[in-house]
Amino acid sequence: MILGPGSKLYAQNFLSFLDYVEKKILDPVKEKFVRYWVDKNLHMGNTTTNRAESEHARLKMCLSSSMGDLSTNWKSVHNMLELQHTAIHASFKTSIIMLEHRFKGKVLWSNLILNISREALHHLVVEYNKSLEIGTDKSKCGCLSLITYRLPCACMVALKIKNGTALRFDEIHTHWKRLRFEYEVDPKLHKADISLLPEWDILQVYFKKTVLL
């Protein structure tokens, strides 16, 4: 464990406590939250629990009270999920139909525009700007974008620019290519087969058992 100057006195007085924290708490799980280890794994930018915590807080706000019945809470959760679904769907549509001026007529982006999410394109723009400074030098690049986002990193982008070729669609992780929900289908062909009856049957069985108890 690396301690700052202000921690030296604390360390001298509580060596056994620090030893316990390091060996029993930090060592078993440090790979999951210390950047040195985290950035060696694919995480798509999720390096903290903030997203889960914020969703939990949002759910509590929607429920408003712990005294609500099943019907009221079900409706609240449904409304919350519906709003999220609409927002995600809108982001998909934006990625499919909106083309930013900076990508128009550029060979580098020709295979990707309107085919991957706008967020992925924004990540790639960061790598593009970085590539103009470091070129194809892998040691300066670090390839973090490739490792953690499965997106071409700066040195890869620099090589594409040097050769005058485009970034390939197959160089992009599937996560960034999903621009529609799995159940969405072409309405001209057939309608999506969506049913909640199996889940409803499970709920009925559960409540019948509860009543019998």
> Which pLDDT tens digit goes with each residue over 117-153?
999 999 999 999 999 999 999 999 999 999 999 999 9
24 pLDDT more than 90 = no
Residue 169: inside a domain: yes
Say if residue 106 is in the same domain as residue 168.
yes
Instruction: Identify the sign of the CA torsion 187, 190, 196, 199.
Output: negative
* Number of domain units in the chain: 2
Q: Do 116 and 167 belong together in one domain? A: yes
194 within some domain: no
pTM: 0.68
Q: How many CB atoms lie within 10 A of CB 112?
A: 22
Q: Are residues 111 and 75 in the same domain?
A: no
Residue 32 lies in a domain: no
| Residue 151 maps to a domain | yes
More confident residue, 209 or 57: 57
Confidence of residue 9 (pLDDT cuts 50, 70, 90): low
Provide the residue range defining the domain that includes 57: 48-98
* In-domain check, residue 171: yes
pLDDT at position 1 over 50:
no
Domain boundary among 35, 68, 98: 98
The answer to the question of residue 204 being in a domain is: no
Check residue 3 and give its pLDDT.
46
Q: Which residues contact 11 (CB under 8 A, 6 or more apart)?
A: 3, 18
Residue 203 covered by a domain: no
